[in-house]
Amino acid sequence: MRSIFDLLNVFRRRRLYDDISEEIRTHLAERVELLTASGMDPKEAEERARREFGNVTLIEEKSRAAWGWTWLERIAQDVRYALRSLRRSPTFAVAAVASLALGIGANSAVFTVVNAVLLRPLPYRDADRLVTFWETSREMGFSGLSAVCDPDFVEWRRQKQLFSEVAAFRGKTSNFTGAGIPERLIGSEVSPSLFPLLGLSPILGRGFVEDDLRGGRGGVVVLSHAFWVRRFNSSSSVLGQAITLDEQAFTVIGVMPEEFDFPNRAAFWTPLVLSGDCSNSFDQMLARLGPGVTLDRARVEVPDFASRLDRERGRPGNRAIAPMPLRDVIASRMAPTLLLLSGAVGLVLIIACANVANLLLARTAARRQELGMRRALGATTLRLATQLLTESVCLGVLGGLVGVGLVYVLRKPLIALVPESTTPGSFSLPLGGPLLDWRVVGFTFCVAFAAGLFFGLAPALSTAGSHLVYGLKGSAARLGGKSRSYGLRGILVASEVALTMVLLLAAGLLLKSLIQLNNISHGFEPQRLLTQNLELPDTRYPDSAARIRFHDSVLDRVLALPGVSAAGTIGFGLPYGGSGIRGDFSVEGQAPLPGNIMVAKLVVSPGYFRAMQIPLVHGRSFEAIDDSHAPPVAVISESVERRFWPAGGAIGARIDVFGAPLCTVVGVAGNVKEMGLTAAPEMAVYLPYAQSPRPFLQSFMTIVVRTDGDPMRVSNSIRKAVQSVDSEMPVFDVASMEQLVAKSKSEPRLNTAVVTSFGVLAILLATVGIYGVVAYSVAQRSSEIGIRIALGAQYGEVLRMMVLQGLRVTVCGLAVGMLATLAAGKALASHLYQVKADDPAAIAAVVALLLASSLIASYAAARRAVRIDPVTALRAE
């Protein structure tokens, strides 16, 4: 209460102070009047009155101090003084503010991403009460969002004691046709409860109601804002209009708010029609914890109920299902990268601080006489230290201001760095609201303030604590060699070197991993290969015969195109394509694989191996004769052969891939990285498209085309060739194989790029720091050097002496850095590929680089020493 009152009084304090002054003047005047009235000489009376009163200024100050604002005034005064003195030395101010702005800006930038991913509330109602269901398979080590069958979802919805509401959704892709260019859309089938569960309603029209589920499959659709703007010009007349998705008419009933694309970049939503069939588990679930239900309680009860459900349905209880907050699912994907980046920017900030501390030390050394004078006039150590700290905090806050400005300009590209989800079924990061919110600004200023205190502390203490006489005498003490602040500067620079070493080594290791990744053999030739996807809707291509007809005529036309040297197709499972079908597999006459080992099941056209340049090790590839009437055949990967026929003899064996009929192995193909670069090559079984035992496997195909020149150049003619077979067939995800490979490396590449640029920044700062230490020492010891030279020392000797001083600092830094690096290496291990954290080549390279740069910096600074003219140097005394 009192503090609020005081705060209000701050604005009235001028008047209060005037009151005190006036009162004291009146007091004195009255006293003088009384004394003169009793016959005293006016001058004497005045003197007497003042003597009796005491020190007027001091009493006035004490009276003011009673109100307790003096500390505030002192700070304001210090800030004004600090800004004034910064203006007086613009070079120093610009150098310090710029390096702080970089250091602080980098931290706010990373924090902006951390904020968007981890801290900002998700744009849903009571988002921290939303949970998903996370499944961990005990045998296969698989973990991910659980998918359940429709009757299970109905059971989960009944658990009212746990959840106030449960919604189901499943991913869906559809061909959007009948309105200009055909397009393939990502969408989602959702239960009517989903939108209310998230606390969102359409901005136009309505959401789903239970009635929408009757009258057959589909019927109504809700559009995303982005899709509505792009394809319907934001027209409100879209309501009630029919659109065609996969040959079916859907009536548009609503448009969702901007930025909403749950679960993952959805462009439309249709109602999820439940069946009583429990053989397919496609429904992912989102639930809101019931009132008073804690996450801990859900963690106990959800797995219980899940295993009870499994028992009732007679399923093997080999999985555990637990609730996981929606936020955690979204964040888990980003956490390792963010952790790495936060660590790197933290180091950069510390290095920047050390550098500014160095600048400050040099500056305060130059100001020693000024400070000594103020001390002589009665300033206390505390007062001087506060004043120096105020100056450094001012610098920090200025740096923070510039840093926030940088982040504001760069906020959009920053958030685009968040890697897009590549696994289907996970959630995209929901955006919405300003990226640069109060958290980011608050964080930046806390960092700026803390940085100001941090780098200001050493100079403040060293200067404020120094002796009055030493300060005033100034130059006389310089002959003594090392001063105390030189030691402090040495420690600062040594720690800069140590931190730089950590950063550079991290950069080096990441770089080496990336090079290893680039040298990986894919098992096929990714150059000059174009890939594009087609999806055949059931409604348009109801049976296998129709699909094979379409498939064959598209391939014929593509092969006839100029610039195309080979072409083939593959169903789900293009390497680096992000999809795939895996399952169990057995060989006639051999024991089946244990349940946790699966093979990739790939459906390909005869030309696929040639187009991809996957070598055939034994036997033959598929031929045109392997059609739907011919006996079923298969090609296996070398890894399968090694596992089941280590002594050879796979050709002619019969294998069970999708049940009866069994297929005969006709060939063995080289291993291919199916699952991305860092994954081990998988076992794979190839089946011919025409013999695909499941129609579903023929509904999706990737056309791979080997071209003579730049693959992107033929993409248009391929699209035309496809659409000359079916004018309403969208061609999507057109990309060269090299782009796909690069995309799978995008995260390591991003990490490497960011850490390397921080490393470069760090080595620049550290080099400047070393230069500063040596240059400062040269300046401090100029008279000593002058005497040495006057006494006959060789220039070379002097030079060596000064350079060695710089090197000594560097070597100390390297020794500490080596220890720090070994600790940091463990944290980095998960980001490395086939590189150990203590890779000797990388360490040697970093040490050599740092030594070289410190040698250059020391030499550049020390050269000034040999230019010292002994006469001038000595005369300066």
**100-139 b/e (C-beta count within 10 Å ≥ 16 → b):** bbbbbbbbbbbbbbbbbbeebebbbeebebbbbbbbeeee
CA distances from 288 to 126, 284, 327, 350 (A): 9, 14, 13, 43
Cα angle 656-661-663, degrees, rounded to a multiple of 5: 55
DSSP per-residue string spanning 198-217 = HT---SEE----GGGGSSSS
User: Over the Cα atoms of the chain, what is R_g?
Assistant: 38
Closest CA to 668 of 645, 690, 692: 645
b/e per residue, 786-806, with b = 16+ CB within 10 A?
bbbbeeeeeeeebbebbbebb
Rounded CA gap, 655 and 658, in Å? Answer: 9
> Under a CB-based contact definition with an 8 Å cutoff, are residues 849 and 503 in contact?
no
**Closest separation between CB of residue 66 and other proteins, Å?**
4
Token digits of residue 527: 């150059």
Smallest separation (angstroms) from other proteins to the CB of 69: 11
Query: Least distance (Å) from other proteins to the CB of residue 195?
Result: 58
Work out how close the CB of 27 gets to other proteins at its nearest, in angstroms, rounded to a whole number: 5
Least distance between other proteins and beta carbon 45 (Å): 14
Smallest distance, Å, CB 77 to other proteins? 21
Which residue, 31 or 315, is less far from other proteins as judged by CB?
A: 31
User: Smallest gap, in angstroms, from Cβ of residue 95 to other proteins?
Assistant: 46
In angstroms, what is the minimal distance from the CB of 41 to other proteins?
20
Give the nearest distance from C-beta 63 to other proteins in angstroms.
4
User: Are 755 and 500 in contact, with CB atoms under 8 Å apart?
Assistant: no
Query: Which residue spans within 97-233 are E strands per DSSP?
Result: 130-137, 143-145, 147-148, 163-177, 183-190, 204-205, 220-223
Q: Do 585 and 599 touch, CB atoms closer than 8 A?
A: yes
Interface with other proteins (CB under 8 A) = 19-20, 22-24, 26-27, 29-31, 33, 52-56, 59-60, 62-68
User: For every residue of 12-33, which 3-state class applies, written as one string?
Assistant: CHHHHHHHHHHHHHHHHHHHHH
CA 806 vs CA 97, 348, 597, 763: distances in Å: 25, 21, 59, 15
Q: Are 569 and 555 in contact (CB under 8 A)?
A: yes
Of the two residues 49 and 404, which places its CB atom closer to other proteins in the complex? 49
Helix (H) or strand (E) holding 599: strand 599-604
Least distance from other proteins to the Cβ atom of residue 30, Å: 5
Tell me whether residue 6 or residue 165 sits nearer to other proteins (CB atom). 6
The DSSP annotation for 686-698 comes to: EEEGGG-SSGGGG
Q: What contacts 682, CB < 8 A, 6 or more positions away?
A: 582, 599, 600, 637, 639, 674, 675
Distance (Å, whole) CA 774 – CA 745: 43
**Residue pair 163/290 in contact by the 8 Å Cβ criterion:** yes
Residue among 66 and 591 whose Cβ is closer to other proteins: 66
Element (H, E) at 569: strand 564-570
100 and 453 Cβ atoms separated by less than 8 Å: no
Give me the least distance between CB of 6 and other proteins, in Å please: 8
d(CA 640, CA 685): 8
Cα separation, 185 vs 202, whole angstroms: 20
Distance of CA 651 to the CA centre of its chain: 49
Q: Strand pairing of 700-707 and 268-271?
A: unpaired
158-170 exposure pattern, b = at least 16 Cβ within 10 A, e = fewer:
eeeebbebbbbbb
Nearer to other proteins, 18 or 304 (CB): 18
At which residue do the structure tokens 């980098």 appear?
A: 106
SS3 301: helix
CB within 8 Å of 820: residues ≥ 6 apart: 498, 499, 501, 502
Instruction: Please state, in angstroms and rounded to a whole number, the distance separating the CA atoms of residues 650 and 369.
Output: 90
The helix, strand and coil proportions of the chain, stated in percent and rounded to the nearest 5, come to 55, 15, 30
What is the CA angle 102-79-109, rounded to 5?
20
CB of 2 to other proteins, least distance (A): 9
Shortest distance (Å) from residue 12 CB to other proteins: 12
Packed helices 782-790 and 795-828: angle between N→C axes, nearest 10 degrees: 140
